[in-house]
Structure 1
Amino acid sequence: MFLPPIQDVDESKLGDVLSILLEPSEILHSTLVPGLATSLEAGKRFASYPDLIDAAIAQVSTWDLPLRAKFIEGHPRIGESKNLSTLSAKEQGAALTVAPTPPEVLARLAHLNACYERCYPGLRYITFVNGRSRAAIALEMEDVLAMSHSLSPDRPLLEEMTPIGSNSDIWRHELERAVVDVGRIAKSRLSALKIEESS
């Protein structure tokens, strides 16, 4: 997969480039791309791809909470294996793994995603996987949710999870952490991409 040289990224290429780096989503095209395109129209050029990613994350961080939550929904849930972009599949270990993820770990992750989304209504669990296995991410999610480590596909029960209000500091902190991790994921993706030579 190739990216154009950063100096060639103009308004017409911004949507495609950001869809590769940040995952395609409606909010990316309807809100983020026009905002960054305004900077390009004003003569600002991005010095590098990390600079572009930083600018995108900085802009997302100024949005109201519902828009930011919509933005992180563009990333797939941890453990999903269908409808993943090529880069998401690689990051989650779905494409090139020595051993496939055991079904009990996938079932646990599905339950943990549901628990997280009940605890944090409107949010999706995002983390910078950085080569870690899905089993390691399940442990991380359990720690975030203050759960015992387990491979149970349905414990604790969803109805035992207490929702956290979006007006709370802990909910906002989770949202901010997720947005930052989207940027970390995007920068990591650069190492898997080739940048075309400038003509």
Structure 2
Amino acid sequence: MVLPSFKEFKALSLEEQIKIFDILFEHTDALVSLTLLSGSGSFDVIKLNSYNELVESVRTSLLRLIQDDDQYKLELSDIIAAHPKLGVPKEVQGTLSELSKLEQKNLNDTKNNTAEIKEALISLNEEYERKYKGLRFVCFVNGRDRQEIIHEMKQILESANTWNQEANRAINAMCDIALDRIRKL
């Protein structure tokens, strides 16, 4: 897949722009609603000049919504949970997008694909989702193996991060993933 030029993206119908968003961010109605459909001056695709600016505008818009009053907690949870669980077998989590499959490819090498490691990832994902209700652990894999992901998950689980801090971390990871996808497309 090749992304259209950003100038072409801006001229696309909303339906076609949403398809591009789905490629960059994983599909969620909440993301589309809070960005492309927001109607607010803080998110205006026409004023942007590149896909990188688009991703940074999404990042800024979403990070602004992380507040102590939890007004947007449900929407942020939906957006973050659109990303797949890392290293969890397909039969446990369902179908991955084509880009997610490619990004998680290194997680499936034989050295890091033992039953113990798979069980650890399933367990850590469950623990993370219990600690941070409504969130999913999202990180920029970028060629790292399962052992590195497990280490990062354990560090976060041992941290005193609040829900808002984890939502902030996950949104930044999600946007870093989108920037990487732009470079690869």
> 49, 54, 57: which is aligned to 2:56?
54
Residues 46-86 of structure 1 show CA distances to partners (whole Å, capped at 9, x for unaligned) of: 21111111111222223322221221011011113431111
| Unmatched 5+ stretches in structure 2 | 66-71
Question: Is structure 2 residue 88 aligned with structure 1 residue 80?
Answer: yes
Instruction: Label 1:81 to 1:45 Cα distance change in 2 as closer, same or farther (>3 A).
Output: farther
Greater share of helix: 2
| Cα offset, 1:103, TM superposition | 2.5
| Unmatched 5+ stretches in structure 1 | 148-163, 194-199
Give the TM-score taking structure 1 as reference length.
0.75
2:87–2:108 CA contact under 8 A, matched in 1: no
Instruction: Label 1:127 to 1:36 Cα distance change in 2 as closer, same or farther (>3 A).
Output: farther
Instruction: Label 1:187 to 1:117 Cα distance change in 2 as closer, same or farther (>3 A).
Output: same
The code of the aligned residue for 2:17 comes to: L
Question: C-alpha root-mean-square deviation of aligned residues, in Å?
Answer: 2.5
* Alignment correspondent of 1:7: 7
* Alignment correspondent of 2:164: 172
How far apart are the structure 1 equivalents of 2:153 and 2:81? 17
Mark the structure with the bigger radius of gyration. 1
Give SS of 1:191's match.
helix
How far apart are the structure 2 equivalents of 1:102 and 1:74? 26
User: Identity percentage over the alignment?
Assistant: 31
Between stretches 178-187 and 74-83, larger displacement belongs to 74-83
1:89–1:95 CA contact under 8 A, matched in 2: no
1:105–1:134 CA contact under 8 A, matched in 2: yes
Give the TM-score taking structure 2 as reference length.
0.81
* Alignment correspondent of 2:133: 121
- Count residues in correspondence: 170
| Cα offset, 1:102, TM superposition | 2.1
How far apart are the structure 1 equivalents of 2:173 and 2:83? 11
1:93–1:133 CA contact under 8 A, matched in 2: no
